[in-house]
A and B are shown apart, each in its own frame.
Chain A
């Protein structure tokens, strides 16, 4: 199968500092690609470039073989690419269900005049949207939170809410930015299950994550960034044994014990 998402020489700098330098990646449907690296390595910047939040200075983003570089996030969402955020971007004043309903937006008729007049078709569609949104909440095990406003939900629930919201869009490519950050081991395990399941359904997942246990367990492929550049690339075993990676992560060379912990 061919790649659904590719980047070619993606670069951007902020105030003379190269935040991302010539990064290539490629991911196929059903595959989980993890992007790891120390803080400030450019992982989130990479997501911002792919999802259209920033425009790259040079390089290309290809979605299903088409050049989509510099397209706005909503256009990309229309093409089936969406993401979650490292420092949560939930809609605070909405209920969990409403948060997810927003993501059904592209699947609804968007006739403002019909909305103003509250035509019966709008109401029918609302019910359908509500039902679908509820299903997505159920997929991440959050149906009992449906009517609570987001600002009253615990942190771990908000992380899953963002995933439910992204799933409601029915994307082909899903970028997850540290979905397990700040979660306890049990919650992390749940997230692991959710990700594995959606990948098994044929969705391409790109994952930024610090939890090495999770990364090593579920990734088909791993890309290591350091100072905005690709440091290494390969499957879990190759990455765990790569001396550059060990050095970047631990600041010392060839410490077997620590490297073993990474590979675990």
Chain B
């Protein structure tokens, strides 16, 4: 049992990367329409943001109800970089991520001192403030109508088409998973898990709790802004809606539904939250109500989320058959 766990932990990292890579390769063969591929791009992008948020929620135990704000900053930076600073769109993306990281660093310091409800409300307020700025600064952002995002051109090649973006966002997702797993299995990851389990014990053992919360807040903001930037580059158009409160709620739901602390879970959560409403066409107008219902049901009946619940069930079955 314990040997199995250790092996799983060491092999597990590489295995989940291989599994996701295989899925990326196989999916296009199964897809029958460009609409499905479009959906896949959106899922990859949201999964990236959800994985980042999961680092914050699942490992450091800190809730953020304003992550769509960082998503929006990433999205608008690829539109504003070219139009305001004359940067190329491809260069605007890393610039946007860096800007977002810096902003999270500055704002995170006071905000992360808060706990529980206070933290939830402060991040909610922060996200809404960003939404408000994006909607109100019409001269800069085009207001509620949004603005155009120029196409990425790399050495004369215009990056366009859903299939191209399928691979770009798919690889970005793979990199995100790799980075997240690395972090989780590093001393930083261990320190974060320690903070999650007992802040006071972590701190008497030398873990600078405030510093680690800040680090993971910045990293998760960078993940969200990278995702937002990619979505904007793919869509070619962006509105303040990307940073709406509902998007923050969607991200949180992806994390808790898939399973807090499970990187694969965030991918599953993102896929379900994006795809389910598309399939249930009757449900379409009930999309938001449905989202709320999922949140309540998950927290009441399956608090650890889909992926951890399934892997626990498999493990206990294996345990039973062994004994």
User: Which residues of A does B touch, CB under 8 Å?
Assistant: 51-53, 72-74, 76-78, 82-83, 85, 89-94, 98, 101-103, 105-106, 108, 110, 112, 115-118, 122, 125-126, 129, 147-148, 165-166, 169
**B168-191: which have CB < 8 Å to A?**
179, 182-183, 185-191
Closest chain B residue to A77, Cβ basis: B206
Q: Does B2 contact A (CB under 8 A)?
A: yes
Q: Is the CB of B186 within 8 A of A118?
A: yes
User: What chain B residues lie within 8 Å of A72 (beta carbons)?
Assistant: 203, 208
Hey, what's the 0/1 contact readout for B1-37 against A, CB within 8 Å counting as 1?
Answer: 0110110000000000000000000000000000000
Give Cα A94 to B202, complex, Å: 13
Q: How many residues of B contact A (CB 8 A)?
A: 31
> Are A78 and B188 neighbours in the complex by a CB distance under 8 Å?
no
Residue of A nearest to B208 (CB): A74
**Chain B contacts for A83, CB-based, 8 A:** 204
Point out residues on B near A: beta carbons under 8 Å: 2-3, 5-6, 179, 182-183, 185-191, 193-194, 196-198, 200-209, 215, 219
Q: Nearest chain-B residue to A99 (Cβ)? A: B194
Asked if A169 and B206 sit within 8 Å, CB to CB, the answer is: yes
Give the residues in chain B near A116, CB-CB below 8 Å.
179, 182-183, 186, 219
Complex Cα spacing A16 to B1, Å: 53
- The answer to whether A112 touches B215 (Cβ under 8 A) is yes
Q: Provide the residues of chain A in CB contact with B6, threshold 8 Å.
A: 147
Identify the closest chain B residue to A118 (Cβ): B182
Q: A90-B201, A116-B182, A166-B205 are in contact. List 18 more A-B contacts (CB 8 A).
A: A73-B200, A83-B204, A89-B201, A90-B197, A91-B202, A92-B197, A92-B198, A102-B190, A102-B194, A102-B207, A103-B206, A106-B206, A110-B188, A116-B179, A125-B187, A126-B187, A147-B2, A147-B6
Query: What is the CB-to-nearest-CB distance from B15 to chain A, in angstroms, rounded to a whole number?
Result: 15
> In the complex, are the beta carbons of A94 and B205 less than 8 A apart?
no
Q: Assess whether B182 is in contact with A102, with CB atoms less than 8 Å apart.
A: no
Q: Which residue of B lies closest to A125 (CB)?
A: B187
Point out which of B186, B200, B209 has the most chain A C-beta atoms below 10 A from its C-beta.
B186
Alpha-carbon distance A76/B207, docked complex (angstroms): 11
A112 touches B188 (CB 8 A): yes
Across the interface, which residues of B come within 8 angstroms of A165, CB to CB?
Answer: 205
Q: Give every chain B residue within 8 A of A77 (Cβ-Cβ).
A: 203-206
For residue B187, which residue of chain A has the nearest CB?
Answer: A108
Say yes or no: A115 contacts B205, CB within 8 Å. Answer: no
Q: Is the CB of A147 within 8 A of B5?
A: yes
By a CB distance below 8 angstroms, the chain B residues around A117 are: 179, 182
| Closest A residue, CB atoms, query B5 | A147
Q: Which residues of A contact B219 (CB under 8 A)?
A: 112, 116
Q: Tell me the bound Cα distance from A90 to B193 in angstroms.
A: 12
In the bound complex, residues from chain A placing their C-beta under 8 Å from that of B203 are 52-53, 72-74, 77
* Residues of chain B with a CB closer than 8 A to A78's CB: 206
Q: Which of B2, B3, B197 is most buried by chain A, counting CB atoms within 10 A of its CB? A: B197
Contacts of B189 in A (CB 8 A): 115
Residue of A nearest to B197 (CB): A91
- Identify the closest chain A residue to B182 (Cβ): A118
On chain A, the residues within 8 Å of B200 by CB distance are 53, 73, 85, 89
